[in-house]
Chains A and B, each alone.
Chain A
Amino acid sequence: MSRHDTSDLIFRRVLAAFPITVLIIVAGIFFELVYSSLPSLHKFGIGFLYHSIWNPVEENFGALPFIYGTCVTSLVALLLAIPIGVGAAIYLVEYAPVKVSRVISTLVDLLAAIPSVIYGLWGIFVLVPFMRNVVQPFLGKYFGFLPLFQGPNYGIGMLAASVMLAIIIVPFIISVSREVIAAVPFVYKESAYALGATRWEALSNIVLSYGKAGILGAVILALGRAIGEVMAVTMIIGNDPKIALSLFSPGYTLASVIANEFAEADFPMYLSALIEIALVLFLVAIIVNILARLLIWSVTGAQSAEAVK
């Protein structure tokens, strides 16, 4: 065996160790979560997922309020963040002068680097009063006929948390969408223009249709972040395990109940139930990712497979 073969082999083995390590870590986390939540899994069974009582004193645990809170806040955050994020990305790539685009893009990337506890603090002192004094009274007055915008107005609650999450994930969507839109070959835009398309038409039906896989990817990244966000949400969602249709009402999410109650979980079943919450969060994150990936494939699968050909 020559010197080259040996070094190549060692290099290959060493490299192979890295992805295997990742697999082992994921499997290890999953195993640990299942193992530690066994008592709770035994006691509550599948009912854990659809029972809405969370009563540590009586050792009665159901995860539904948290699942609900996580899903609602993440979805509302996406609804707010997607149009703003994609719109901003389009503006930065297609319309803004190069200098403006560069400055804003840098700021956006900085925004993504701000620790979420700072967002949370800002949320308590700025966003929550703003929601209480301006946004929620407005929504209640003009859209109060919808059950979403009824009930007492505390400022804190699911709507504030959703807005907070939207602010946190917008930079991700802008950043990735910007790259994706900029990567669409110029000649496709030219082709649309050559057929007499206006700028808006070239953008909306050519550029976005080329970029949709990438933009969906950005949205999934953002959704993952929203589902897992702890600090900023915990600080302003109200931390009340109840299921209310109104976005004004306080709620709770999977991630925040773990962070909030871990220190208080002073008997085994409580701890086990919290770990099962972590397991649920883990699975929700994985399922969302799988669904999203399937969605991307269904939108682009045939297309990209043929494009490669």
Chain B
Amino acid sequence: MNTNGRIEVKNLNFYYGNYQALKNVSMTVEPHQIVAMIGPSGCGKSTLIRIFNRMCDLIPSTRVEGKVLIDGKDIYTKDTDVVSLRRKVGMVFQKSTPFPKSIYDNVAYGLKIIGIKDHRVLNETVEKCLRRSALWDEVKDHLGKSALSLSGGQQQRLCIARAIAVDPEIILMDEPCSALDPIATARIEELMAALKDEYTIVIVTHNMQQAARVSDKTAFLMHGQLIEYNKTTDFFTNPSNKITEDYITGRFG
């Protein structure tokens, strides 16, 4: 089992212009764990995971202070190769985002852009990733069909297949089930449990039950601050912080 995929956050502050979205956040995500991030809208949880793959760079006038280490390496140094960082830290979004290409080409996309043309390698990877994302049996007979013809749940699993095709160590998921029905959601959750052996998974979710079901550890953020970060079982049964307790018992949020 590969032991890479560790994220360490040290005294992280993040600003959109003058607005401080994250305040002095420190936490560690251990390899091969599923960590859920919960908290009310605008608390900074999506921002936080976008810092792990430097996706926040795409927004102008943002600023990062503090340290983020992935496998012990600072990802905010001048000579960080953002492109290879993003291959190492994959991401699945709230809205499924299949490219307007065939199912096959969607999964192969990340390989093709780094110049892999060998059909045998591509075929093997596509099959492996679709199997792993539990989509293979549904699509194996029409890999050439447009990815847009799949259902919402299938599209989201395709996005997961596409993300794991580039062989990442960490997968970030930004509310991957919020647009899906309960059955499709359950399939994604099963998939996450199966993927845990290979990858570290950080999932942002609005759904506290989902966090409780899938994760090993849960982080609760509010107003840009990390209020509590604990083992999921303890987090939901015996929260150490009063605000956490109020939040998970539905007193606000």
Chain A interfacial positions (CB closer than 8 Å to B): 185-198, 201, 205-206, 209-210, 302-303, 306-307
| Pairwise interchain contact B95-A197, C-beta atoms closer than 8 A | no
Main DSSP-derived SS at the A contact region:
helix
Please judge, given known A-B contacts A196-B114, A210-B100, A303-B148, whether A190 and B87 are in contact too, CB under 8 Å.
no
B9: chain A residues at CB < 8 Å are none
Q: Mark B85-108, 1 if CB is under 8 A from A, else 0.
A: 011001101110101110000000
Cα separation A302 to B114 with both chains bound (whole Å): 29
Q: Which chain B residues have a beta carbon within 8 Å of chain A's beta carbons?
A: 53, 55, 58, 83-84, 86-87, 90-91, 93-95, 97, 99-101, 109-110, 113-114, 146, 148-149, 159, 162-163, 166
Decide if B166 touches A195 in the complex (CB within 8 Å).
Answer: yes
Verify B97–A195 contact, CB threshold 8 A: no
Cα distance, A187 to B83, chains bound together (Å)? 17
- With A and B bound together, what is the CA distance between A109 and B93 in angstroms? 36
**B146 touching A303 by the CB < 8 A rule?**
yes
Check if B97 sits within 8 Å of A201, measured CB to CB.
no
Min CB distance A256 to B, Å, is 41
In the assembled complex, how far is the CB of residue B28 from the closest CB belonging to chain A, in whole angstroms?
23
Docked-complex contact B84 and A194, CB < 8 angstroms: no
- Bound Cα distance A186, B60 (Å): 13
Q: Which residues of B contact A197 (CB under 8 A)?
A: 83, 110, 113
Could you tell me if B163 and A194 are in contact, using CB atoms closer than 8 angstroms?
Answer: yes
Q: Of residues A185, A193, A201, A302, which shows the largest number of chain B Cβ atoms within 10 Å of its Cβ?
A: A193
Are A196 and B87 in contact (CB-based, < 8 A)?
yes
Give the docked Cα–Cα distance between A210 and B99 (Å). 8
Looking at the assembled complex, report how far the CB atom of A306 sits from the nearest CB atom of chain B, in whole angstroms.
5
Chain A contacts for B83, CB-based, 8 A: 196-198
A190: B residues at CB distance < 8 A: 55, 58, 91, 93, 97
The listed residue (A189, A191, A302, A303) touching B159 by CB distance below 8 A is A191
Q: Give chain A residues whose Cβ lies under 8 Å from the Cβ of B99.
A: 188, 191-192, 205-206, 209
Q: Closest 4 CB pairs between A and B?
A: A196-B87, A194-B91, A195-B110, A191-B97
Query: How far is it, in angstroms, between the C-alpha of A139 and the C-alpha of B53 when the chains are bound?
Result: 50
Contact yes or no, B146 A196, CB < 8 A: no
Query: Contacts of B97 on A, CB cut-off 8 Å?
Result: 187-188, 190-191
Give A102 to B42 CA distance when docked, in angstroms: 30
A residues less than 8 Å from B159 (CB atoms)? 191
Contact call B162/A307, Cβ cutoff below 8 A: no
Chain A residues, Cβ within 8 Å of B100: 209-210, 303
Chain B residues within an 8 Å CB radius of A206: 99
Task: From B55, B94, B163, give the contact of A193 (CB < 8 A).
Answer: B55
Residues of chain A contacted by B162 (CB below 8 angstroms): 195
Jot down 23 A-B pairs with beta carbons below 8 A, ordered by A.
A187-B93, A188-B99, A190-B55, A190-B58, A190-B97, A191-B91, A193-B55, A193-B58, A194-B53, A194-B55, A194-B90, A194-B91, A195-B86, A195-B90, A195-B109, A195-B163, A196-B113, A196-B114, A197-B83, A197-B110, A197-B113, A303-B146, A306-B148
- Tell me, in angstroms, the Cα distance from A294 to B124 when the chains sit together: 37
